[in-house]
Amino acid sequence: MTDYVRERDVVTPGQLLSDDQRTAGAHTYVYGGKVYAAVAGIIQYRDSRINILPSKSPYKPSESDFVVGIITDSKPSHYEVDLGWHLVGFLHNLGRRSRIRLQIGDVVYTQVKNSGIRGVFLEGGQKLVKISRGLLIRVSPVKIPRIIGKKGSMLNVLNSESGCRLYVGRNGLIAIVGESPEKELAVASAIKMIEEESHLPGLTERVTHHLRKKIVGGEILGEG
């Protein structure tokens, strides 16, 4: 039996992956005893099975997920928060004693309290952050784990090399807060690189070089 792909290969729907149907994993299908790709994505081997990490997939809320959202409506009892992907989160009115005042258009960073048939409910209180400045970007939610990295390694690189604070939402929204718009744009371009090249080895080194070139190398300082 033969596998026609390797770890981190990029595949397209309908592509032949293996002659051994026992290797069929997530986002694959079996036809005629052979394994094919059901979606576009990146190959990942787990327990001798061929899995595909989809290149694009909608966000599915889970309890304790950190998310970034935009206040779209204010009701007497709660706020409605746009989480993207046609999802609306509900945030209970914080009350007059709250340290945070919210209005339509504000960007917030918080956690999912619970998610179910009644909707997506968000945490308020100390877990809520109002983001009053910075740059807001959107990426595919399936790329968020790579942007964070193992034990936060990639996120640490983005923070330390740029001096920016990043609020990363599992829903694919990321708020970048830096000392200048130029630094925020530099981080946004690095995140775009991560999104496009997440399947390639040596990504951390390339991201580090990219940021140093833009920030330290003179593009922002006006030396080059």
Fold of 135-216: Ribosomal Protein S8; Chain: A, domain 1 (3.30.1370)
Q: Give the count of beta carbons closer than 10 Å to the beta carbon of residue 116.
A: 9
Closest to 156 in 3D by CA, of 211, 202, 199: 211
Domain boundaries, the chain: 10-54, 66-131, 135-216
Q: Are 35 and 29 in contact (CB under 8 A)?
A: yes
Mean of pLDDT values over 11-21 = 93
pLDDT score of 55: 78
Q: Are 158 and 195 in contact (CB under 8 A)?
A: no
Fold of 10-54: OB fold (Dihydrolipoamide Acetyltransferase, E2P) (2.40.50)
pLDDT score of 218: 53
Average pLDDT over the chain, rounded to an integer: 90
pLDDT score of 220: 57
Q: Are 208 and 217 in contact (CB under 8 A)?
A: no
Class of domain 66-131: mainly beta
Q: Is 66-131's fold the same as 135-216's?
A: no
pTM of the full structure: 0.80
The residue that leads in pLDDT, 49 or 97, is 49
State phi, psi for 118 to the nearest 5 degrees: -85, -10
